[in-house]
Amino acid sequence: MPKGYWVSVYRTVSDPEKLAAYNKLAPPAVKAGGGRVLSRGTRVEAYEEGTAERTVLVEFDTFDQAVAARESAAYQKALAALSGGVERDFRIIEGID
């Protein structure tokens, strides 16, 4: 069964305090959902009109597990803390089996 991945690309961070609050709540929620952070940070090279503010890649054993973790109460609490603090593109994608 193919793995699932969260891909989050931050365009802007307008409220670092909200991002810090999210960063305290999100990792335990990701771990509880079975996720493993593969990459996180600001060392990014963006091409073809991409953005290079911050990128995060999280792996899950399955696509459905990735979706369930995103919808979990713990992650929703993290999202509430982040609300309005960043502009980002968040996607869940299915890996290649």
- Give the model confidence (pLDDT) of 48-72 as tens digits: 877 778 899 999 999 999 999 999 9
CA–CA separation, 76 and 74 (whole Å) = 5
4-94 topology per CATH: Alpha-Beta Plaits (3.30.70)
The residue assigned the tokens 């990014």 is 44
User: Domain extents for the chain?
Assistant: 4-94
CA–CA separation, 82 and 87 (whole Å) = 10
pTM, full prediction? 0.90
Q: Which amino acid makes up residue 11?
A: R
pLDDT attached to residue 92: 98
